[in-house]
Structure 1
Amino acid sequence: MKIALTGATGIAGQAILQSLAAHDVTILGRSTVAGHSHIKWTLDAPAPDLSGFDALIHAAFQHAPGKYRGGEGNDPAGFITSNLDGTVRLFDAAAAHGLSHVIFLSSRAVFDGYPKGTTLTEDLPPKPTSLYGEVKVKAEAHLSALPLTGITLRATGLYGKGNANKWAPLIADYLSGNAIEPRVASEVHVQDLAQACQIALSQNQSSIFHVSDILLDRHDLLAMVQNLTNSPNSLPKRSDADVSQLECTNLKALGWQPGGMELLRQTLPDLLP
């Protein structure tokens, strides 16, 4: 399969690209990636020529460094122009050039308006509270109306090696003896997201897939760090917050099996400083 991939140097895109070794992947973006064809493109630009491609995987998103919710900074209009208008142009080009599949990386943020502790099913209507979530919802809706197989992957927090090591500052603070605020959140390994993407490529009808795995308390994460490093530092208290979790019924029905706590344990040594 000949695939166009956006966001290949990002947290999600790196893992997705690595999982597509059996395919002919062209990078759409500012930067080249060794071993792959490249088309220079940004979300602010006209859509690239997608003729000859079978599928598009769209994982690119422009935002303030380190922020998704609130990633518009002081330029909400520019945020919409880049991320929504640019995405719509890209999806329209995919339809116009006859691509069979478009896979869109969306977010759990589309459900932020629900009370904490809500079970988030695939058929639950979105209720975003951030501009980030609103843009994702509108892009999802545009994709679903196009004459192709459009798959939306709504992912929770991603973790893993490389760019995906979002816990580096947290682990450094803990090992330095700094106080750590309690927090609990849902997480999924980037490899499991990549596995979900491969499943999506095999589907023949438009769908929404939720991508989430473990509910992780910082106390438990840092207890594993403590065990690996023999740190004498105190662990944070467990969080008593409720968390709304994505229910991943559709993906699991197709054989998706995320790595759970065992994959976290295997990965954690590579995330230490």
Structure 2
Amino acid sequence: MKVGITGASGYVGQFIVRHFLQRGYTVRVLLRNVQKTKIFCAPDGRFEWTCGDMSNDVVLSEFVDGVHAVVHGAYDHLPGRYRGGEGDNLTGFLESNLNRSLALMQLAHGAGVEKFVFISSRAVYASGHLRGNLQEHSAAQPDTFYGAYKAAVEAMVSAWAYQLHWHAVSLRLTGVYGVVNPLARSKWYDIARAVVRGEEYSQGRNATEVHGDDVARAVELLLHEADARGQAVNCSDRLVSNREIAEIIQSISGERGPLPPQAKAVSPAVMDCAYLQRKGFRFGGVGRLRQSLRELVEAVQKEQRSSQ
């Protein structure tokens, strides 16, 4: 199977590309900058790229030609901002993300692409006041433009799936962690660097997280499960705090110092991952968290030594 992946050099995309290459798929990525192909250690003959961006129908047509499935994770936003990524240009934001996602879907379906997975977000649920579990069947009630755009594409994914009997699925992600390239983009990099340097990290925060490798495994599962068609599937592993992260990093590095404070805000609602659980899917849990943090600490320590 040849899989086309948008947003391949982004945070989540890197995990998806690596996973599919390791699993023996042929992967075609859509990249604005060909230099970013250097991120991936790709075997000869199983890695292709289309140079361009989502704004060009000719580029998208070339990208989808001959692929069996598309995983759409591209997201155009202000640097470092997901919610609020529209800045002061909402019209441009919707054109780049909502309209161009729909254009990609139409071109993919027209080209005979058999399967389509849209990378969505827990932002389709209202944030802040929600407590308890967020069910997959619950109505989307976004309170940000980011969440609204994701919910709108989800609705079109469902419509394409049921009206045209297309294997189109949405995967709703919580926060994603893991070591990426460049290292400084990795989640909790700033905490690891502070601990390694013996500095204080003062931001207390609770959040739900999932490792990028688990995301990639979930994407592969959805491509192959016939009853996934038209579904919006939750993907979230566990609730963690910055304090817990710092404690684990200290235990790995052997460093000691002040820990971040306990978060004062009420912990966020947890996504119920009923579909994946029914399929026997198992998240990495604390074991994968510790393994990923060890990888992060070792990379930060190496970076620290090279800068001295």
How does the TM-score come out when normalised to structure 2? 0.84
Match among 151, 156, 161 for residue 174 of structure 2: 156
Match among 201, 204, 213 for residue 191 of structure 1: 213
| Residue-by-residue CA offset, 1:55-85 (whole Å, 9 max, x unaligned) | 1000111111111001112211111110111
Aligned partner of 2:145: which letter?
L
Deviation at 1:167, TM superposition (A): 0.9
Identical columns (%): 30
Distance in 2 between the 1:59 and 1:199 partners? 16
Aligned partner of 2:115: which letter?
H
Aligned partner of 1:216: which letter?
V
Q: Does 1:233 align with 2:257?
A: yes
Partner of 2:246: 222
Partner of 1:207: 231
Structure 1 residues 237 and 116: alpha-carbon distance in aligned structure 2, compared to 1, 3 A threshold: farther
Partner of 1:62: 76
Distance in 1 between the 2:128 and 2:114 partners? 34
Distance in 1 between the 2:173 and 2:146 partners? 14
| Residue-by-residue CA offset, 1:115-161 (whole Å, 9 max, x unaligned) | 24231010011111111111111111111111211110100000001
**Does structure 2 conserve the Cα–Cα contact (< 8 Å) formed by 1:187 and 1:215?**
yes
Distance in 1 between the 2:274 and 2:128 partners? 19
Richer in helix (by share): 2
Partner-residue secondary structure (3-state), 1:127: coil
Deviation at 1:235, TM superposition (A): 1.1
| Residue-by-residue CA offset, 1:13-43 (whole Å, 9 max, x unaligned) | 1111111121111112213426421112312
Q: Which segment drifts farther, 137-146 or 44-53? A: 44-53
Partner of 1:254: 279
Q: After the TM superposition, which parts of structure 1 deviate over 6 Å for at least 4 consecutive aligned residues?
A: none
Q: Does 1:26 align with 2:47?
A: no
**Alignment RMSD, CA only?**
1.6
Aligned partner of 1:219: which letter?
R
Aligned partner of 2:61: which letter?
P
Partner of 2:306: none
Partner-residue secondary structure (3-state), 1:265: helix
**Does structure 2 conserve the Cα–Cα contact (< 8 Å) formed by 1:173 and 1:180?**
no
Deviation at 1:113, TM superposition (A): 4.4
Aligned partner of 1:3: which letter?
V
Distance in 2 between the 1:171 and 1:131 partners? 32
Distance in 2 between the 1:156 and 1:239 partners? 18
Partner of 2:56: 45
Unaligned runs of 5+ in 1: none
Distance in 2 between the 1:186 and 1:214 partners? 5
Partner-residue secondary structure (3-state), 2:61: coil
Unaligned runs of 5+ in 2: 301-308
Partner of 2:303: none
Deviation at 1:232, TM superposition (A): 2.8
Deviation at 1:249, TM superposition (A): 0.6
Aligned partner of 1:14: which letter?
Q
Deviation at 1:176, TM superposition (A): 4.3
Deviation at 1:222, TM superposition (A): 0.6
Aligned partner of 1:86: which letter?
R
**Does structure 1 conserve the Cα–Cα contact (< 8 Å) formed by 2:61 and 2:108?**
no
**Does structure 1 conserve the Cα–Cα contact (< 8 Å) formed by 2:207 and 2:267?**
no
Partner-residue secondary structure (3-state), 1:20: helix
Distance in 1 between the 2:167 and 2:201 partners? 48
**Does structure 1 conserve the Cα–Cα contact (< 8 Å) formed by 2:200 and 2:260?**
no
Q: Does 1:80 align with 2:98?
A: no
How does the TM-score come out when normalised to structure 1? 0.94
Distance in 2 between the 1:254 and 1:31 partners? 37
**Does structure 2 conserve the Cα–Cα contact (< 8 Å) formed by 1:116 and 1:242?**
no
Deviation at 1:242, TM superposition (A): 2.4
Partner-residue secondary structure (3-state), 1:9: coil
Q: Does 1:168 align with 2:189?
A: yes
